[in-house]
Amino acid sequence: MMIAVLIVPFCMGLTLALQGGFQKRDVWEVNAVMSCGTYVTRLGWEYTSMGPSFYEPICNYEPAMGTWVGCIHDVIFEDRKMDARAFERSFNAVQKICKLVSFTNTTSQFPMIADKFTNITEFYQTLTNASLFLNNNRSDRPVGSIDRLTYPITIDESIRTKNLFAYHAHSYNLDRSNTFGAVINYYFLIVMALLAIGNFFNHIGLDQRRNLFFKFFNKIKGSYLVPAIFKGKHAQYLRGKKFCVSYCALLPSRIEFIILLGYAILHTVLLSYDYIIDPNNVLFKSKNLQLVRYFADRTGILAFAHFPIIIIFSTRNNIFESLTGLHYSSFIAFHKWLGRFMTLDAILHSVFYVIYSLCYHTFENSRKQAYWQFGTFAIVALISICIFSLAYMRIHYYETFLILHIILAVLLFICCWKHVEKIGWGQWLCFAIFFWVVEKLTRVYKLCTFGVRTAKLKLFFDDVGAPEYVQVTIYKGEKLKNWNAKAGQYGFVYFLIPRFFWQSHPFTIEDDGDYLRIVIRPKDGLTNKLVNYVLKNGVDGEMSVWLSIEGPYGCSLPLKHYDDVILVSGGSGIPGPLAHAIECLPMVKTSASKFVELVIIARDTNILKAYAKDLLKLKNSPVTVTLYLTTKYNNHRIQKFDVPDSSTPLLQESSSMLVELLSFIPIHYGRPNIAKIIDGHCKEKTRSLAVVTCGPPVLVDNIRSHCAERMANSETTIGYFEEFQCW
């Protein structure tokens, strides 16, 4: 864990390297080149431009060139008090400008001096030649004068200063916007570092020790880290109707909300802070138009700065998941909200650039340019991604959502790259693509490590003969002896069946050393197709298929540091809590003071059959197992159900296992009073309690709410761990 925590500074260094990869634009020698070049070009020269380039006169007409170089010299040496190295660096900026000039007048009487302007010696020679012909009497010549200049002139200091400051203000905003984009990435890196430190303390047991601050930490956890933010709902979808519009949303937890709120405040401040305004309006018509342009630039750059962190948080191989202990679902929540803010930035960028182009009457010409058109396509892709990522789409059409999400994301990257291809900031995209490629290669590596294995599928039916569970069993053998899944870890399973081999879904994996077991409760989509496939092609609800598993993912829990452990599972959420109960067996056997209880909540006893082999490991052990049936059976029905049917060996084996399980697992009817069970372990101040839950969203939300309340008001150290994930 300590090694993992040390990776965070490395990630911060990586972000610093990213920022360093950008070309700094607010450089005084470059500002000198640009400000002098623009002003000198606008003077009236005895030169007929034959090409479309704005800077053609100062690159192809020697008097204009001499005036330009002289102006640069005066800015660097006299106005900014810089040295000869700065003046020589300005030569590179001059070269870049002149290389962009389109030379179409090949038969002109004027020499093509830019062709031979290739080294610093010629740069100094141009300055020397210009000094011999300077006309100091024309230094205050107004821009656009009728008289045509045929000799170099000196640019007045006041003009140089005003023009230089205008370019400084513009380039400063671009650089600050880039820096602020890095700040957004820093924010999440710092948050992840703090969470990683807290997770490290939790895993070494520091969080469970009674000390001077434990009440304070309990209060913080119970009030700010564990609870939901609204009506106790986090695992459940918030549904309702407002103004004749139905809505459905998955709310973040309180800690996720606090992190996102901090980000939203930071984002708003960075959009509003630190603009330099040119009081002389040299480059723009007014101060308002300056702000419009600067705000348009900043929103666009900040939108691009979101790319790396959005990609990192969307990946399955997210290093921060193991560092912080946060679930994959938490990072998906960050991914979604960062994407929404990125979309807002992009929309503001577009709106303000449209306003700017309308004010300068350039809209018709600008919208025909490639960068504008690709930017428009990018906005459409971003908005489409947000619309098709709404909860309703994910719930009812997940596979469609996933395919559209990938296609639109690829189109977005292409359009964004073309949008900034000639102006910069493509490094943000490169950094994001780098993470994306590395993550995909890691996923391929994990699939190759697991390989293609034969799995046995077995259906478990309810009382009316409908398939209720699918048990997947994979023999590890020699090739998978080093492939191990810890308690509560999950993997993305690919069933290599022609109809859906490309689909993968996460399932909790039980690893008993020789076999891997996965129990699936069929719903819609892939799991329903899998059941139908087994019913159609299997024999007595059993068959073998090929599969591969990408994983394992997820983190271990520090349950060994707690005195009491309550594991609550509901419905198909039993794998994680059951695996933790088995993992706790050695500790319970060696420590008389440790108490572990597994609470199983189910509709009927069929759930026990699917997990029989693992549940039998708890027989005659100190771990307490209790079954709560929410559908009431009378004794006659239970006894009748448990009688083996000798005519069907499969049913006989299944029912005999059930009889053995019920011999040590007491049955209670109705839903358990979880609050009462938890409160019963909070009476002794000297003991610590861990509550692990996985099950239906309502159950998970109720347990979380009660645990949070007890944390904030109890003197018992309480740890709450949620195995349930939904995104």
Residue 165 covered by a domain = no
Give residue-wise pLDDT tens across range 555-604: 888 898 898 999 999 988 899 999 999 999 888 888 878 899 999 999 88
The identity of residue 22, as a single letter, is: F
Which of the listed residues 553, 573, 588 is the one where a domain comes to its end?
A: 553
Instruction: Report if residue 438 sits inside a domain.
Output: yes
354 and 482 belong to one structural domain: no
Most confident stretch, 282-286, 295-299, 557-561, 592-596: 295-299
Which whole number is the average pLDDT over 679-698?
87
pLDDT at 168: 95
Looking at the fold, whether 466 and 433 belong to one and the same domain comes out as no
Cα separation of the two ends of the chain: 27
Give the C-alpha separation, 648 to 420, whole Å: 69
Residue 486 maps to a domain: yes
Q: Are 620 and 584 in contact (CB under 8 A)?
A: no
Do 475 and 609 have their domain in common? Answer: no
Domain-embedded: residue 166: no
Q: How far apart are CA 220 and CA 210, in angstroms?
A: 15
Residues 598 and 669 in one domain: yes
Are 471 and 434 in the same domain?
no
pLDDT digit string, tens, across residues 219-274 = 888 888 888 887 778 878 777 766 555 667 788 889 999 999 999 999 999 999 99
Q: Is residue 189 predicted with pLDDT exceeding 60?
A: yes
478 and 414 within one domain = no
Helix (H) or strand (E) holding 113: helix 113-116
What tens digit of pLDDT does each residue of 593-643 get? 889 999 999 988 888 888 888 899 998 889 999 999 987 654 434 443 344
Confirm whether 701 is domain-assigned.
Answer: yes
Mean pLDDT of 283-294: 95
For residues 569 and 709, membership in a common domain is answered with: yes
Same-domain pairing of 81 and 191: no
- Cα Rg of the chain (Å, integer): 34
Residue 223: inside a domain: no
Q: Which residues of 388-424 are buried (b: 16+ CB within 10 A; e: fewer)?
A: bbebebbeeeeeebeebbeebbebbbebbebbbeeee
Residue 461 has pLDDT above 60, yes or no: yes
Give the HSE-up count for residue 688: Cα atoms under 13 Å, Cβ half-sphere: 22
385 and 284 share one domain: yes
Final residue in a domain of this structure, among 389, 417, 445: 445
Count the neighbouring beta carbons within 10 Å of the beta carbon of residue 184: 21
Burial 244-270 (b: 16+ CB within 10 A, else e): eeeeeebbbbbbbbebbeebeeebeeb
Q: Which 3-state string (H, E, C) describes 55-113?
A: CHHHHHCHHHHHHHHHHHHHHHHHHCCCCHHHHHHHHHHHHHHHHHCCCCCCCCCCCCH
> Is 529 a member of any domain?
yes
- Residue-range definition of the domain harbouring residue 549: 451-553
- On whether both 362 and 472 belong to a single domain, the answer is no
Q: Report how far residue 510's alpha carbon sits from residue 486's, in angstroms, rounded to the nearest whole number.
A: 8
Is 563 part of a structural domain of the chain?
Answer: yes
- For the chain, what is the domain count? 4
Same domain, 265 and 414: yes
- Looking at every residue in the chain, the average pLDDT score rounds to 85
Where is average pLDDT lowest: 48-62, 171-185, 281-295?
Answer: 48-62
Residues 296 and 430 in one domain: yes
The pLDDT of 549-553, averaged and rounded, is 91
The more confident residue out of 18 and 233 is 233
Q: State the CATH number of the domain containing residue 467.
A: 2.40.30.10
**Nearest in space to 72 (alpha carbons), one of 51, 57, 94:** 94
CATH of the domain at 570: 3.40.50.80
Tokens of 163: 């023009």
Beta-carbon-side half-sphere exposure of residue 41 (alpha carbons within 13 Å): 19
Q: Which of 445, 475, 496 is the last residue of a domain?
A: 445
For residue 384, which of 366, 363, 400 has the smallest C-alpha distance? 400
Q: Which DSSP helix (H) or strand (E) runs through 667? A: strand 667-669
Residue with tokens 């400084």: 168
Q: What is the pLDDT of residue 18?
A: 53
Percent of the chain topping pLDDT 70: 87
Residue range 55-69, pLDDT digits in tens: 888 888 889 989 999
